């Protein structure tokens, strides 16, 4: 971040493919805010229970306590006293997450949002594109292609499941570069 706004709140979005370090970066920024003695509230969708029910956990096992919520409206209910709000896996929330994040920034909060910008089909995922358009700061993270080692911007699904939301990790997904990524792998097998 080059310069924080002097008055009011703002929105920071951290986006990229799976295994690109989005959650690690979110945790790093939230910990820095805590070290600065800022009041921090951290949220994640309750459906993301891969590593923990009440923590945000990166694939490298960095973790920070969080509040699981059923809807983005629950974030508004629990974020009143915090100066800094963290939201992980924002792509899993309903479209009203954009209004919630806008409202928090309007109230003077620093709002940090992390999530997948594209789904396994390579298409925009959930409200991330709109959140990126709303944000004052956008950080795009890249993974390393698990096939060739090049910078990776895609999430390759390794199963034939076709629902958009399928919670998993390396057993179901790989980070892939543009060259190694195969859209709709299940149709190609």
**pLDDT category, 52, cuts 50, 70, 90?**
low
Catalytic residue among 12, 24, 81, 89: 89
> Tens digit of pLDDT for each residue in 126-145?
999 999 999 999 999 999 99
Q: Over 90: is that where the pLDDT of 89 sits?
A: yes
DSSP-assigned letters across all residues of 138-156:
EEEE-EE-TTT-SEE-EEE
The pLDDT, as a whole number, for residue 61 is 73
Task: Indicate if 89 belongs to the active site.
Answer: yes
pTM: 0.88
> Tens digit of pLDDT for each residue in 148-188?
999 999 999 988 777 676 656 657 889 999 999 998 654 44
Minimal CA–CA distance to 126: which of 153, 161, 101, 98? 98
Q: Which domains does the chain have, with CATH numbers?
A: 10-142 (3.40.50.300)
């Amino acid at each position: 971040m080059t310069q924080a706004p002097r008055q009011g709140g703002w929105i920071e979005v951290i986006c990229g493919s799976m295994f690109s370090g989005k959650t690690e970066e979110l945790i790093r920024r939230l910990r820095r805010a805590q070290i600065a003695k800022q009041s921090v509230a951290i949220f994640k969708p309750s459906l993301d229970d891969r590593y923990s029910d009440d923590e945000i956990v990166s694939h490298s096992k960095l973790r920070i306590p969080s509040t699981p919520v059923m809807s983005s409206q629950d974030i508004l209910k629990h974020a009143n006293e915090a100066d800094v709000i963290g939201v992980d896996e924002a792509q899993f929330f309903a479209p009203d997450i954009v209004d919630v994040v806008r409202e928090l920034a309007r109230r003077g909060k620093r709002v940090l949002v992390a999530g997948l910008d594209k789904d396994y089909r390579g298409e925009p995922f959930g409200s991330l594109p709109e959140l990126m358009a709303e944000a004052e700061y956008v950080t795009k993270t890249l993974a390393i292609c698990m096939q060739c080692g090049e910078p990776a911007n895609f999430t390759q699904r390794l199963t034939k499941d076709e629902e958009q939301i399928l919670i998993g990790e390396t057993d179901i997904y790989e980070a892939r570069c543009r060259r190694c990524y195969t859209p709709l792998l299940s149709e190609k097998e």
